[in-house]
Structure 1
Amino acid sequence: MASLEFPWEIKNVSEDEDKTIKKYYKDYVRPFIRVGPKGYIANAGYGDHAAEIYNLEVRPDDIWVTTFSRSGTTWLQELVWLVANNLDFETARAVPLSKRFAYIEYPTQRAETREESTPTNPNAPRATFEDFRSLPSVPSPRYVKSHLPLSLLPPKLLETAKVFYIARDPRDVTVSYHFAHKLFRYFDDNVEFKEFWDLFKQDLIMHTPIFPHVEEAWQKRDHPNMMFLFYEELQNDLRNIIERVCKFLDKEYSEEQQLLLAEYLNFNNMKQKTMVSKTNEDGSEVTFFRKGKAGGWVNYFDEEMTKESEEWLENYLKTTDLRYPKAIK
């Protein structure tokens, strides 16, 4: 099958932007890039493989979970996989999500100064066992994870497969993404949240800008193969979301089974699962699962940052009918 030409322009960020970005993302050598009309930020490694990812063949029995990073991806992945796999809790406990889902663009994000290596211990934690290179040989049904916006994914994705997208209050995303950058050593431990927030609102953090990313999926929310969810909905009424996911995947479970699933997906239980977590025994917040509370951003934004964030969010909401749900305290 002939490959499609990647339809979007890829260009380097400005010299000043690259200098600013590399003050924090220190292990990258080549200039960072902006992709497409929305100017999504990526490292040069993604640009090398953008066309390959865009041309991935999608199968009708695929299930894709797509999100802006730190929006509830792991929570949703576990929910989706269990509903699709007859509530197989035994396998879910034994096999990490990183093995059950292919994180397709993960290797493209590697910094040039870091060697790519495969752990000699097959049980060692890994971000993913499959990616865009191996996905074609993965047996069906395939479960696929991506933090890329829909416009950078295969163009026939929604026509062919079931797709989930989860969004979260961007201020909570910013807080969680800040700690994740430290956890995965993208940023040094001494980088303050205010610095991260300044970069995030200027669209100088990987995957930003966030609003077009969310809006692309929001505009497709009525497509029969798209389920658009909010993180706050999972927190406020998980049972209702379970029912919706079951219906979307054409699965039926008894009330008792759904209660068992809801208990399994309780955030505190998920936090204890070794399949997804790096944990710090010192009690610091630099862990994969932190607090899971929607609205927790208020504890990290000072008065000036709060005002900035409210104006930032208001400017976006003027252009869309999307509204983030309020978290139930």
Structure 2
Amino acid sequence: MIIDTPTRRRELLNHHIDSTIWDDIQLRDDDIVIATYGKSGTTWTQQIVGQLIHAGDPGLNISAMSPWIDLRVPTRQERLAMIEAQTHRRFLKSHLPADALRFDPRVRYLYCARDGRDVVWSLHNHHINANALWFELINDTPGRVGPPIPPADPDIRRYFRTWLEQDGAPFWPFWDNVRSWWAVRDAPNVMMLHYADLKRDLPGQIRRIAAFLDIELAPDRWDAVVEHCGFAWMKRNAAQAAPLGGICWEGGADTFINKGENGRWQQVLNEQDIADYEARAVDELGPECARWLAEGTIPAGAPDGSA
């Protein structure tokens, strides 16, 4: 089977994102890009990759080591200087769709997805607890394209309906993000991950990621890696994972690393809400991708993550 190399076809610019920074990054042979829609297991995947690279080191500050490259803050020059100065194997964070991201055959790309309903519940916690500093950084940093992000609707069901009916509002499109990565899932340097699979079999998924990244650990380091990638450990050490130690949220890092649970929407959404979401998923993604997004899978016999 011939697989086309993913091609960058567009830019994404809004209150959070400026994808043009990828034009200026000097990519390295062993770089890793961790991509998600957001609130889909990003920090968890960063933690796993960081722990694999550094053999279970408990003192890693994942947020500092693995910056969100296409976020508009800090300045473009600061972000570029930060990653250029890194001497460890770099693992860079992005929330771009695949066709707005720069692809390089030397780079490994990990994409982690999550059921959109679970995404919204995590996103609402992130947004409703954002403090004045968060809004100042996002809305007032020069170069914003489009309207500012508004405060979160305190009614989580209304928040969900707005997100569903306006495709990701007030953040950015959801279905397009998932669909773009699903389209390149067979590329040899792309691995598809799913939040539900991480919850079902964390050790197995860590080993799968290690194989994809060509990382070999001494046997006596595996237990430390798995422990430091568990949600309980990450919650206890939330300040090492939350951006800027959590200072942009009420409640700090403990708010950013929240519950790590799926299915909380089941107690709030009614039958029509659920039916509307599921119909939209199939319409936007097709039945196979919609099923994967809802349930996840653990690919058999595909250490590189190809389906």
TM-score between both structures, scaled by the size of structure 2? 0.74
From 34, 52, 62, the equivalent of 2:31 is: 62
Name the Cα RMSD after superposition: 3.2
For 1:227 and 1:45, locate their aligned partners in 2 and report how far apart those are by CA, in whole Å. Answer: 25
- Hey, what does 2:53 align to over in structure 1? 84
Q: Do the aligned partners of residues 252 and 148 (structure 1) sit closer, same or farther apart at CA in structure 2, a change above 3 Å counting? A: same
SS in 1 for 2:185: coil
Could you say which residue in structure 2 is the equivalent of 1:287?
Answer: 255
Residue 223 of structure 1: how far off its partner (Å): 2.1
Measure how far apart 1:321 and its partner are. 4.2
What code does the residue aligned with 1:84 have?
Answer: I
Q: 1:197 aligns with which of 133, 157, 160?
A: 160
Which of 49, 52, 64 is 1:99 aligned to?
64
Q: Does the 8 Å CA contact 2:175/2:285 hold for their aligned counterparts?
A: no
Q: Which has the larger radius of gyration?
A: 1
Q: Which runs of 5+ in 1 are unaligned?
A: 1-5, 11-34, 36-41, 109-115, 118-127
- Indicate the SS of the match to 2:28: coil
Q: How does 1:101-180 map to 2 (within 5 A)?
A: 101-107=66-72, 131-132=79-80, 134-139=82-87, 141-154=89-102, 156-157=103-104, 159-180=105-126
Q: Percent identity?
A: 26
Normalising by structure 1, we get a TM-score of 0.69
Q: Deviations over 1:160-186 (max 9, x none)?
A: 211111000111001111111122245
Matched, 1:307 2:246: no
1:131 is paired with a residue whose SS is: helix
* In structure 2, C-alpha distance between the alignment counterparts of 1:140 and 1:276, rounded to whole Å: 18
Bigger RCO (CA 8 Å, 6+ sep) = 2
CA contact (8 A) 1:64 1:145 kept: yes
Counterpart residue number, 1:121: none
Q: Contact (CA 8 Å) 1:104, 1:146: kept in 2 or not?
A: yes
Secondary structure, aligned partner of 1:195:
helix
Q: Is the 8 A contact 1:178 1:196 kept in 2?
A: yes
Q: How many residues align?
A: 264
Is contact 2:117–2:265 with CA below 8 Å preserved after alignment?
yes
User: Are residues 7 and 254 of structure 1, via their aligned partners in 2, closer, same or farther at CA, if it must alter by over 3 Å?
Assistant: closer
When you count helix as a share of all residues, which structure comes out higher? Answer: 2
Q: In structure 2, give the amino acid aligned to 1:149.
A: P
Instruction: Report what 1:249 is aligned to.
Output: 213
Distance 1:243 1:214 in 2: 24
Q: CA deviation at 1:237?
A: 0.5
Gaps of 5+ in 2: 1-7, 136-149, 298-307
8 A Cα contact 2:21 2:69, kept in partner = no
Amino acid at match of 2:184: K
Provide the C-alpha distance between the structure 2 equivalents of 1:237 and 1:259, rounded to a whole number of angstroms: 14
1:227 aligns with 2:191: yes
